[in-house]
Copies of this chain bind each other. A is one copy, B any other.
């Protein structure tokens, strides 16, 4: 257990609330308190004894409080190894008393940052003394107890009461782990802020930080433990009904949101299954969009996630409630729609307050990670018509829609569309022609009347003309693809032979 009696505590908290929850216990065990500035005043106002740091150190507070605790009397009092004779001798000579408990709450840098305070002003919120106190005491966990969060007051009170004014090494170690998690997190926020402001995209050392949002029941599979972390102070999506979300739900929800955010108009619907779209539509209103998205592959849509880029109406809610979906993600729900949907065993997510789109994406691969810009560009250059046949204006709109959906489908991706609704999606095949076949077969099964005069999009170039042949065989009349294959000439020839229009985007959208 390695119990350590606490005789002296240093308190320096930015957030002064709840101090009254801990002070009676410190008094009860006759723990001397050192403090300064606002914390000192607050403790005094609560009628507890407290020594001001400047008196304690015999060194007056300078630079408007920028340097208060950075003093050897403080840090030697914390950092000395109690069992070390040399240390003991040094302390005796210098008349430095031990500090056994350190309670710190850091300046709220992240909170201020999220308010979009100016750089020069925000810098003032970088705490220097606080992290040093936390790190000193966390390092010396064998002898010192550190509290780096005011949320842990009750834990400390419990510990002190149970062990009569002492703490166990287990408790101190745990608090040290929390302390280093905090200082790492705190500096990661600052570091990422500096890098963002200085436009340093790939620093030599990169840290990514997250706040625990919730422990999930399990991960991608039941034998994996998992938790969700938010990279900012708020996760911004709100569950308004249903059982708790699973790992796969979150994966699907964010896949859905990425599709929805790519729509310019608030009329679209995307249905996702296994993180792949299985029906997407952007027609004149949410009802038509929903029906078309569903009809693209009603079998796969079963138990899937529906995303709606608008406020769900009563009419749509009625349509939704007739089918089995696991989650509905919408940009708000009207009152009547909620009445209908809340009767069902379904998870409802409102994303109307979702702000953030991360500029960077990170892919974890065992002992490394790939960091890259998010794929936020659809087509960089002007479309290039490469066939004798030119696409009509309507076809072009449909092609661009299909190409946009392609961005969100796992590679190799082929998307067949009629107007602005998908009618066949071929995903995740190692060979492009196989994705063509899957997309065509879906269309033949669920939209046999629409495949003639449809359009197709490919996320990357066709390496051979075989894919074109597969698509045109059943009536695809226009194709959009990046181009850039060594076989482009043969591919174009095949398109001309079929009498269809083809455009090159010059922009590829692999997604794995």
Contacts and interface: CB of A to CB of B under 8 A. Distances in A.
Interface of A: 59, 62-64, 66-67, 70-72, 74-76, 79-81, 84, 86-87, 90-91, 94, 120, 123, 126, 128, 131-132, 135-136, 139, 141-142, 173-174, 176-178, 180-185, 187-188, 190-191, 194-195, 198, 200-213, 215-216, 219-232, 235-236, 247-248, 250-251, 254, 257-258, 273-276, 278, 297, 299-301, 304, 354, 356-358, 361-375, 377, 380, 410-412, 427-431, 434, 438, 507-512
Contacts of A201: 225, 227
B366 A363 contact: no
Contacts of A370: 216, 219, 226-229, 247, 250-251
- Max count, chain B CB within 10 A of own CB: residue among A123, A190, A205: A205
As for how many copies of this chain the complex holds, the number is 2
A72 B70 contact: yes
A181 B207 contact: yes
B205 A177 contact: no
A447 to B, nearest CB: 16
A128 to B, nearest CB: 5
A367 B235 contact: yes
A424 to B, nearest CB: 12
Given A64-B86, A177-B203, A221-B507, 17 more contacts: A62-B91, A75-B128, A128-B135, A128-B136, A174-B198, A182-B205, A184-B205, A202-B215, A206-B210, A220-B512, A223-B377, A227-B370, A228-B368, A230-B367, A274-B411, A358-B366, A429-B438
B213 A368 contact: yes
B191 A184 contact: yes
11 contacts: A63-B79, A63-B80, A64-B86, A180-B191, A181-B195, A184-B184, A206-B229, A207-B209, A221-B509, A224-B374, A254-B368
